Amino acid sequence: MDQPYILAPHVVTVQFEVFPVLNILQSMRQINDLDRLSGMGDWITQLAAALSPEMKADNTQVFDFLFPVTYRMDRAPEPAMTFPEYIQRFDDLTPQAAQSQVIDMIMQMPQHVPDFWRDQPPFTAEMLMNDWETFQRVLNHMMECEEGDTQGAAEVQRLYELLHAPETITPLVKAHLTRLWEAHAAAEWSRVLPMVQESVTAYRQVGIGEMTLIEAIRAVTGRDFAGKIENEKVKGVTRAVFIPNAHLGPYVSVFPREQMGYVLFGARLPRDSRIQSPELSRSELLVRLNALADDVRLRILELLTQHDELCAQEIIERLNLSQSSVSRHLSQLSATGYVIERRREVSKCYSLNPDRVRDTARALTTFLRR
C-alpha cells in the first residue's frame, strides 16, 4: 500500500540589507501610490506636491509602465551599489533590449494573474506592436482604466509612442532618475540613512530562523501575505532580502526576482530588539497614530466595534462613502494592524483587532515615560 506523502514547506534564507538602490527606487515609486494609499511618510507627500505635472507624468511612465527597464530586470543591482553608480549602468542598455523588456512584462501579465485575464481575448507581441486597438484594450485592462479616464488614456498613448521609438526609453528613465536624485532624493537619503542602518542592525541581531517566505514576512512585518502573492512568482525564491524603508509607512512591498525575494517594509525596530533608537520608535509610533488621525478611519473602527465582521460593501453603505475612499482607508487600517482582513468568497471582510489598539496605547505610554 502506497504511503501518503506531504511536501515539506519551502524555506528561505533571510538577510537584512540597507540596499540603497532598491530603497531609493521604492521611495521614488511611492509618488504614484498617493492617490490610492494613505499614511506614507511626509517626504513622499511633500515631494509629490513639489513636482511639476510633467515630472509626475514621467514618474508614472518610469515606475509603472517601464518598470522592467527602471529596475534593470536584466542586470540586478548589488546591495552595496550607490544610486549614482546605478544610474550610470543605463548606458549599456540598448533600445531593442529596453523595448523587449517592456513587451515581455505585458505579455506575462495573463499568466501571473490568470483569473483577472480569463475573459480577455488572447493577444500576441506582434498584435501589441502593430495594432493600436489591441494595445489600448490590453493596457486599459491591465491598468483597470474606467471609461472616460483621460489621464489613463494619455499614459497608454505615450507608452505606445515610446515603444515605437525605443531609442527614447532609456534616456527618459536615466534623465528622470537623475533629476529626482539630484534635486530631492540625495539629501533625503543622507538624512534617513542612519535610521535605516539602525533598523538593519537590530534585525540582524534578532535573526530569523528557517521559515517559508510567507512566514518570514509575517515574522518581520506582522503582515499576513498568505494568498496575496501569486504562487508562480514566489515558488522559486530561495533567499529573502528584507529592506527597511523610511517612507513606506505601514505598507509592505514584495518584489520577487528569480531566486531572490526582496521585501521592503517601514523602517522600525523588531519587538525583541536590544537596540534603543528614539528616532525609530518615534517613526513607528507616528505610523500607528497617523492611521487614527482621520475621522473616516475612526468611524470605520467605531463601526467595527459594533459588529464582529463587516465586508467592504457593508462599510461603504453604512458610512455612505465611495468605494475608492473606503478602500483607501481600509488599506491603511489593515496595513497598520488595526483591522484584520479576510476574503469571504469574492468579498473582502474586516474585523477589529483590539490587541493592536491596546499595543498602540502601551507604546505611546512607554514613549512618553522615556
Task: Write out the three cell numbers for 31.
Answer: 509618488
DSSP-derived letter for residue 90 is G
Radius of gyration of the chain (CA): 22
Residues ≥6 apart with Cβ < 8 Å to 156: 135, 136, 139, 140, 143, 145
Q: Are 226 and 297 in contact (CB under 8 A)?
A: no
Residues ≥6 apart with Cβ < 8 Å to 22: 77, 243, 255, 262, 264
Q: Residue 1: its pLDDT value, please?
A: 44
Residues ≥6 apart with Cβ < 8 Å to 191: none
Residues ≥6 apart with Cβ < 8 Å to 36: 324, 327, 328, 331
CA–CA dist 56, 151 (Å, integer): 12
Give the CATH fold of the 294-369 domain: Arc Repressor Mutant, subunit A (1.10.10)
Work out whether the CA dihedral 229, 231, 234, 237 comes out positive or negative. Answer: positive
CA–CA dist 34, 351 (Å, integer): 25
Low-confidence residues of the chain: pLDDT under 50:
1-2, 4-8
Burial level of 147, CB count in 10 A (0-12/13-18/19+)?
exposed
CA–CA dist 123, 131 (Å, integer): 10
Work out whether the CA dihedral 281, 219, 253, 179 comes out positive or negative. Answer: positive
Q: Residue 40: its pLDDT value, please?
A: 87
Distance of CA 116 to the CA centre of its chain: 19
- Residue 222 has φ and ψ, to the nearest 5°, of 80, 0
Q: Residue 5: its pLDDT value, please?
A: 44
- Residue 349 has φ and ψ, to the nearest 5°, of -120, 155
Q: Residue 6: its pLDDT value, please?
A: 43
Q: Residue 230: its pLDDT value, please?
A: 61
Residues ≥6 apart with Cβ < 8 Å to 261: 12, 213, 234, 237, 239, 240, 241, 254, 255
- Edge to edge, the sheet with strand 347-352 lists 310-311, 347-352, 339-344
Ranges of each domain in the chain: 11-17+189-266, 32-185, 294-369
Buried b (16+ CB within 10 A) or exposed e, 308-343: eebbbeebbeeeebeeeebbbbbbbbbbbbbbbbee
Task: Write out the three cell numbers for 338.
Answer: 488595526
Q: Residue 137: its pLDDT value, please?
A: 93
Q: Are 256 and 237 in contact (CB under 8 A)?
A: yes
CA–CA dist 277, 202 (Å, integer): 10
